[in-house]
Amino acid sequence: MLHQFPFYLAILMVIVFLVMLANKIKVAYPILLVLGGLLISFVPGIPRIHIDPELIFIIFLPPLLYEAAWATTWKELWRWRRIIGSFAFLIVFLTAFAVAVVSSKFIPGFTLALGFLLGGIVSPPDAVSAGAILKFVKIPKRLASILEGESLLNDASSLIVFRFALVAVGTGQFVFEQAFVSFTWAVLGGAVIGLGIAFAFYKTHKLLPTDVNMDIVLSLVTPYVMYIAAESAETSGVLSVVCGGLFLAQQRHRFLSSSSRLRAINVWESLVFILNGLVFMLIGLDLPEITEGLEEVSILSAIGYGVMITVLLIVGRLLSAYGAVVFTQFARRFITVAEQGHPGYRGPFLLGWAGMRGVVSLAAALSIPPYLADGTPFPQRNHILFITFVVILLTLVIQGLTLPVFIRRFNLKDTDHDLSEEEEYHHLHRRLADDSLVYLKNREVADDANQFAVGKMLKQLENTNTLLDDEQLTRECREVYLHMLDVQRSWLKEWNKAYTTNDDAVRRHLHRLDVEEEKIRFM
């Protein structure tokens, strides 16, 4: 391992340059990383890469899920809960069933159980790829929220399908009642364990005298504890991390100082950048090992089966997206739904087309044991691995490259928000200043010093529409100002409860308030 350390350093440098190139040409960086790893794998003398699935599940998956949960808005997740739930659970199960039927019928040597195993592997779309694409092109907030929410939950459902199929292949039988009980325990148990551990860490931050460095270390440890505890209890580690992460994200202003929040952002952004870069590069680098095990199947036949499954996945997701629209239009006659108007055909198409597969699929495929419990080789293991690789490569390249084109051509309008994010940001800024002015005018003062501080704040607001300038503030002014920042945070959180308020604009203001608090504390 030590003699390969320079090679891994070189890989990190390649990742940095490929991401820079992706930003320059406005292409989602996972596409270039996979293709780059694929090209490097053919270079003579390159060390053979072996991806341990436990490395993906334990080292990579918990922090990536945790960071995604912190970036997700609970308000939007709850608003679109029905369609998110259908895509994350129902459609994953239907996709796995469709793959099972088609593969068992058309791929030699595949049984229905092996088909379900393959379906559980390739059914969940990858969140990182879609998120990387949405950095360059804007889509309506509702579509982005649905994709983000789906990505948090679909890994859990697909891995549950994979786990049951793995048992069915090994034992040759499938007991529905046992599977239903196990599924219920995996979902509910994972959520309860995640929330319980999150609450324990919440209290740790609140009650113990932690500083910024300790807070960041605890935040790095938290997702691993959630995941390992849930998996040890044979529940869903993915749901544990997601539920715990969502809880702590909603409470971040209660147990983290502004310093901890600001510095944690930088640490987590760097960590996630490295993890995402490594994992997509490793996908490409692992091709030689995957192809070596295809002695019983020709490369061309395996590629053909991979193309067949890829087409099935793309068509199935598109049909599911339009089916969800039809069902919503029918259900609105009986219940109140989030989608009040008719979405047309463009929005569902984009939702269906954003189905790139990625790291979880490859990790699940690699985690198939080489041998069954009786010592016989696991049937079709290498074939499943190669098909999974083809699916990842084709969906990343085809859908990943064309999705931005469709988004620009469709030019969908955000019907939920009258203002753009930038306009909403400036609107909230003016509203904060105006409400702060009224608040300070009505504020009760206890002594002359506070009276002077409030008067100074009022003068700044009336003249500059802001609470901060470059002059040195007195101690009393700083106290009034810090209190005013807390009041503004409360206003922003209250305003953000409305669906018409742009979450991204609110988060930008909350970040700005943290920066201003740090500036005041160091004056």
> Helices 61-71 and 141-171: crossing angle, nearest 10°?
150
CA distances from 501 to 14, 17, 173 (A): 41, 38, 51
Q: Which residues contact 189 (CB under 8 A, 6 or more apart)?
A: 230, 233, 234, 235, 236
- 98: confidence class by pLDDT, cuts 50, 70, 90: very high
* Contact of 290 with 382, CB cutoff 8 Å: yes
Give CA–CA dist 291/303, Å, rounded. 11
Phi, psi (rounded to 5 degrees) for 151: -65, -25
Q: What is the pLDDT of residue 88?
A: 85
DSSP 126: P
523: its two tokens:
């004056």
Q: Which residues contact 457 (CB under 8 A, 6 or more apart)?
A: 440, 467, 477, 480, 481, 484
Comparing 70-84, 241-255, 412-426, the range with the smallest average pLDDT is: 412-426
Task: Of 142, 181, 139, 147, give the one whose Cα is nearest residue 164.
Answer: 181
Phi, psi (rounded to 5 degrees) for 314: -65, -50
* Contact of 468 with 516, CB cutoff 8 Å: yes
What average pLDDT does range 189-194 have in this prediction?
Answer: 94
Q: What is the pLDDT of residue 343?
A: 60
Give CA–CA dist 178/180, Å, rounded. 5
Phi, psi (rounded to 5 degrees) for 335: -135, 165
For the chain, give the mean pLDDT. 83
Q: Which residues contact 282 (CB under 8 A, 6 or more apart)?
A: 37, 49, 51
Please state which architecture CATH assigns to domain 2-410. Answer: Up-down Bundle (1.20)
Domain layout of the chain by residue ranges = 2-410, 421-521
Q: What is the pLDDT of residue 523?
A: 61
Strand partners, 371: 377
* Contact of 152 with 83, CB cutoff 8 Å: no
* Contact of 256 with 215, CB cutoff 8 Å: yes
User: pLDDT digits over 66-97, tens only?
Assistant: 998 888 888 888 888 888 888 888 888 899 99
Give CA–CA dist 43/24, Å, rounded. 26
* Contact of 124 with 400, CB cutoff 8 Å: no
**Would the pLDDT of 219 be above 90?**
yes
Sole residue written with tokens 């959630």: 226
**Would the pLDDT of 56 be above 60?**
yes
* Contact of 15 with 260, CB cutoff 8 Å: no
CA distances from 61 to 132, 224, 239, 291, 354 (A): 17, 9, 12, 25, 21
More confident residue, 50 or 501: 501
The string of DSSP codes covering 465-520 is SSS--SSPPPHHHHHHHHHHHHHHHHHHHHHTTSTTS-HHHHHHHHHHHHHHHHHH
- 314: confidence class by pLDDT, cuts 50, 70, 90: very high
Phi, psi (rounded to 5 degrees) for 377: -60, 140
User: pLDDT digits over 195-209, tens only?
Assistant: 999 999 999 999 999
> pTM for the complete prediction?
0.85
Q: What is the pLDDT of residue 330?
A: 60
* Contact of 87 with 267, CB cutoff 8 Å: no
Task: Please give the distance of CA 475 from its chain centroid, rounded to a whole number.
Answer: 43
**Side-chain half-sphere CA neighbours of 253 within 13 A:** 15
What average pLDDT does range 193-222 have in this prediction?
Answer: 94
CA distances from 39 to 33, 45, 284, 410, 485 (A): 10, 13, 8, 34, 52
Give CA–CA dist 487/439, Å, rounded. 9
358: its two tokens:
């990625």
More confident residue, 362 or 222: 222
